[in-house]
Structure 1
Amino acid sequence: MAFVKLFSSLLLVAVLSWYRLEAFPGSGLDPEFYQFSCPQANEIVMTVLENAIVKDPRIAASLLRLHFHDCFALGCDASVLLDDSKNVVSEKNSKPNKNSLRGFEVIDEIKAKMEQVCPHTVSCADIVALAARDSTVLSGGPHWEVPLGRRDSTKASLSESNRNIPAPNSTIQTLIAKFSRQGLDEQDLVALSGAHTIGLARCATFRQRLYNQNGKNQPDVTLERNYYNDLKSSCPKVGGDNNVSPLDVSSPVRFDNTYFKLLLSGKGLLSSDEVLFAGNEQKAAELVRTYADDEDRFFHQFADSMIKMGKINVLTGSKGEIRKNCRRLN
């Protein structure tokens, strides 16, 4: 009888392990990765974020963006967190990141608490992925099970950061190409762009749309007129580079589908937003309409696309390391 019970237990473990591998095929990741080694991991991330977002609601969007910028350079490996050092040229100095990427101090705080409770166990890469999910949830967006078990990179790539992260004035063709390079399709592109339902953008990232579209010294014709006039008041032709405007003018701190509704009416802040609908790419435009009409469908696809993005070129097993300090190598 004891042998039968033991066999049944081992069979159950094998079945559950197979199920988790089938749920996240080929990634080497598992939502239950820290179930025994650090069961408090999710709670620690959520507790820190609850306090951080109360102090600065914008930080939720910043942490979502941090995950995106990390995954698009080398993969989801926390390379974006590394500071300059003798052996590292930081990705923080790239054009998409410099004077723009935020949230590093929040990641530091989470990591410090993890090290107190579960020393040398939870990777910085997993912390970034969990922080992106919890920032979404705390802003009113969907929840998803984050596959875990990433390890941290022992290098950074300034060149990949500059080359792979789409610019705010990207055409729809460039966006599709850069997402495809990461194994993400057009559906992922439109859904993940929906992260712009929260957060702010600097004047420097959208000034060209107001004053010098295509070098013709005129505004982007896709901008709704009253919206255009409002933007001009906060983003002058000269100066004010760091003045900020909400990416979603209607509900800038709530994760919802309003972003897509605004695209339909010519109120996408960045050119890379508006081209999803006005860029003469039929599938992208249809997806914008779909998500504008159906928030649940957007939420479901956003969660699926975040899981998919979070598996880009991950380091698992004995690859990489578990950093003690997210800003530097061990």
Structure 2
Amino acid sequence: MTTSKNSFGVFMLQMMVLSLLITLQAEGQGLKVGFYEKTCPHAEKIVSDVIKEVMAVAPSLSGPLLRMHFHDCFIRGCDGSVLLDSPTRQSEKYAPPNLSLRGFNIIDRVKLALEKACPGLVSCADIVALVARDVTVETKGPFWEVETGRRDGKVSLFSDPINPVTGLISFASNITTLKQKFALRGLSTKDLVVLSGGHTIGMSHCTSFESRLYNFTGKGDTDPTMDPNYIARLKLKCKPNDQTTLAELDPGSFKTFDDSYYKLVTKRRGLLESDAALLNDRETKAYLVQATSHGSTFFKDFGVSMVNMGRIGVLTGSQGEIRKVCSKAN
């Protein structure tokens, strides 16, 4: 009887995952490059101008603003749900994996400029996608054409980002989990290793990798897959139980979008376990090596994978709404 119940439970879980996958695979329909060409022809320039101003004074926001697009798309699709406030702190942005996100005020600033020029036309979901591209460009990264036409969702739940099956990817994920969670959203293993390259800009709290330095298996040991010299350097920066200090994901060029992240990972200096995990798969490891060579296609590939991610679970046509303010439904 117990076996039968367990089998039924597994079956139901598989059906739930399949249902989500089918939903997410109808993505991208209704999106197109230049969606606002006629209705708000200067929309993309307005976004770009604001981001140029922001990056000139606060370049450290590039990583968080790029990551915001990931966190939005991976939960309920790219619908701006990560932006929604909740008086009872029960929306996505208050879930533990999202507490380190920054730059919501920048999204609000962009929205304000767009509402002034073209009221009620440009969605917050599109703003997040355009901002991700523009902060990449402003940190010397690639330009890609962003498909637009997304509409904003009205639902944002605290429980979604922390769902063990469909939630956000943990920084401690192994390669199997990483591949599964990307596949669940219709993304390939190549998308996984390419989008991981976004860690070339940004920072991470010491708490995200503390166990690798001080207590990897619960015996006061270090992670044997990490370069011991790198561990020694990180220990100088991050003491046990340090809740506030930030470390560079790509030391030396964390404000510049380049391929040095891949060089670090191949030298066993990936900061997070999810970075180091890319060495544990034949396809992802091959890409790491290719991305550090003269024939690297990383910049081109990053744009392609960002477009792929930007199609996840989008609302288009008459679905959803165009929020007047990004932090609350109309």
Q: Tell me the TM-score normalised to structure 1 length.
A: 0.89
Distance 1:304 1:294 in 2: 20
Instruction: Flag structure 1 segments of 5+ consecutive residues without an equivalent.
Output: 1-23
Contact 2:27/2:312 (<8 A) preserved: no
The residue matched to 1:215 in structure 2 has which SS?
coil
User: 1:90 corresponds to which residue?
Assistant: 91
Deviations 1:84-109 (A, max 9, x none): 047x83101112112x0111000000
> Cα distance, 1:142 vs. partner?
0.8
Query: What displacement does 1:268 show?
Result: 0.7
1:20-67: CA deviation from partner (whole Å, max 9, x where unpaired): xxxx99521011110011111111111111111121111111111000
Alpha-carbon distance in 1 for matches of 2:103, 2:295 = 27
Higher relative contact order (CA 8 A, sep 6+): 2
- Deviation of the 1:83 alpha carbon: 0.3
Aligned pair partner of 2:179 in 176, 180, 196:
176
Distance in 1 (alpha carbons) for counterparts of 2:193 and 2:49: 30
Task: Determine if the alignment matches structure 1 residue 203 to structure 2 residue 206.
Answer: yes
Residue of structure 2 in register with 1:301 after alignment: 301
Q: Is the CA contact 1:74–1:157 (under 8 Å) kept in the aligned structure 2?
A: no
Whole-angstrom CA distance in 1 between matches of 2:243 and 2:234: 13
Cα 1:25–1:94 shift into 2, 3 Å: closer
Equivalence for 1:60: 62
Deviations 1:159-217 (A, max 9, x none): 22113211111111111111111111110000000000010000111101101112232
RMSD, aligned α-carbons: 1.5
> What is aligned with 1:258?
260
Structure 2 unmatched ranges of 5 or more: 1-25
What is residue 74 of structure 2 aligned with on the other side?
72
Displacement after TM superposition at 1:222 (Å): 1.8
Distance 1:122 1:114 in 2: 7
Q: CA deviation at 1:295?
A: 6.8
Q: Which amino acid aligns with 2:98?
A: N
Comparing 25-34 and 185-194, the one that deviates more: 25-34
Aligned equivalents of 1:282 and 1:81: distance in 2? 37
Counterpart of 2:104 in structure 1 is 104
SS in 1 for 2:41: coil
The CA deviation at 1:294 is 4.5
Contact 1:120 1:324 in 2 (8 A): yes
Deviates most, 290-299 or 63-72: 290-299
Q: Which of structures 1 and 2 has the bigger CA Rg?
A: 1
Partner of 1:284: helix, strand, or coil?
A: helix
Shift of 1:267: 1.0
CA distance in 2, matches of 1:107, 1:175: 28
**Aligned twin of 1:190:** 193
Separation of aligned partners in 1, 2:245 and 2:56: 22
Aligned partners of 1:73 and 1:157 also within 8 Å: no
For normalisation by structure 2, the TM-score amounts to 0.89
Counterparts of 1:180 and 1:212, CA distance in 2: 31
Q: Alignment partner for residue 230 of structure 2, among 227, 232, 239? A: 227
Give 1:214's aligned residue: 217
Pairs within 5 Å for 1:254-293: 254-277=256-279, 279=280, 281-293=281-293
- CA change 1:26–1:233 in 2 (3 A) is closer
The corresponding residue for 1:318 is 318
Number of aligned positions between the proteins: 302
Q: Is the contact between residue 90 and residue 157 of structure 2 (CA under 8 Å) also seen in structure 1?
A: yes
Cα distance change, pair 295–256 in 1 and its aligned pair in 2 (3 A): farther
SS of 2:162's equivalent? helix
Corresponding residue for 2:129?
129
SS of 2:161's partner is helix
- How far apart are the structure 1 equivalents of 2:295 and 2:168? 27
Identity of aligned pairs, percent? 45
Aligned position for 1:146: 146
